[in-house]
Amino acid sequence: MIQVTPVPAFTDNYIWLIGNTDNPCVAIVDPGDATPVLDALTRLAKQPVAILITHHHRDHVGGIDQLLQAYPDLPVYGPANEKIPHLNHPLTEGADVHLEALGLNFHVMELPGYTAGHIVYYGEGSLFCGDTLFANGCGRVFDGTLHDLYASLQRIAQLPADTQVYCTHEYTVDNIGFAKWVEPDNPALDARLEESWALLDAGHPTVPFELGREFDTNPFLRTHIPEVIAKAEEIAGRETHTPADVFAVLRIWKDTEYD
C-alpha cells in the first residue's frame, strides 16, 4: 500500500517521500532543498531509490546535487522538455515509471501551462502534480500559456474523483480567499476554510486533498458554473464565450489584483 510522507521545505513547499508499508525504500518528489530530505531519511530510516521531478523551478530541483552526493546512484526522472540537473530518465507523455523496489507504478502526463514542459505522475490512486493544480487553486503561467494550463486542468479533472492530489505548496487558505472573491455565497468554501484552519492549527498539512472536492470549491475547475461565469464577465466588462475564456479572466485577475 502506498505511503506518502510530507517533508516541509522553505516557507510553504512540500517535498514528498513516496513509499509503501512493506519496506524502507522511498522515492523523492521535487526536492528543492536537500537538507530537510536528508534529515527525514535519517529520522525515518528510509532508503531513497529515485528522484521524481515535475518541472525545472529551483524550489523543485535545488536539492538534487546534494542528494546525489549522498546517494550517487539515484536515478533522476523528469520532463524531457525541460532542463533538469542530472536528469538521466527523461519522460514524455504516456511513459511509465516503475519503482521496482517499491512495487509501485506511475503514469506520466505532460501537462504544460505553469511551465512549458511540466509533467505529473499518476498512479496508485494518487497524483503528484507539482504546481499545476493546488487545493482550491492552480499555478500561474510562467513559460507556458493560459490555453495550455486550462487544457491541463481539464485533463486532471477527468481522473477519478477519489484521486489523492499531492501538490507542492501550502496555499490552501490563501486560495480559498480568492475563491471567495469569485463566489462569496458558496457555502462549501466556508466549510473548506474551517477544515483547513483546523488542520493547520493542529500542525497538519492541508495536502493531500481529494480531487472530487475541488469541483465544489476551486474556481478554476468551476468555469462552467453560472455564478463563476457572471463574476468573470463582471471583472472583464464583457461577455465570455467559453469556459477557457472564463478561466483566463480569473487567472489574470488573480495575478494582477489578488496575489
Binding annotation: 59-60, 131, 169
CA distance 168 to 176: 17
Alpha-carbon torsion, ordered 181, 184, 190, 191, to 10 deg: -110
> What stretches of the chain show up as alpha helix (H) in DSSP?
34-44, 58-61, 64-70, 146-157, 172-182, 187-201, 214-217, 226-236, 243-253
Report d(CA 33, CA 29) in Å as an integer: 11
From the annotation, which residues make up the binding site for Zn(2+)?
59-60, 131, 169
The grid coordinates of residue 219 equal 474556481
Strand partners, 83: none
Helix (H) or strand (E) holding 122: strand 119-123
Burial 138-173 (b: 16+ CB within 10 A, else e): bbbbeebebebbbebbeebbebeeebbbbbbbbbbb
Task: Quote the DSSP letter at residue 219.
Answer: G
DSSP structural state of residue 11: T
Q: Cell 550517487 maps to which residue?
A: 72
For residue 91, give the C-alpha cell.
519522460
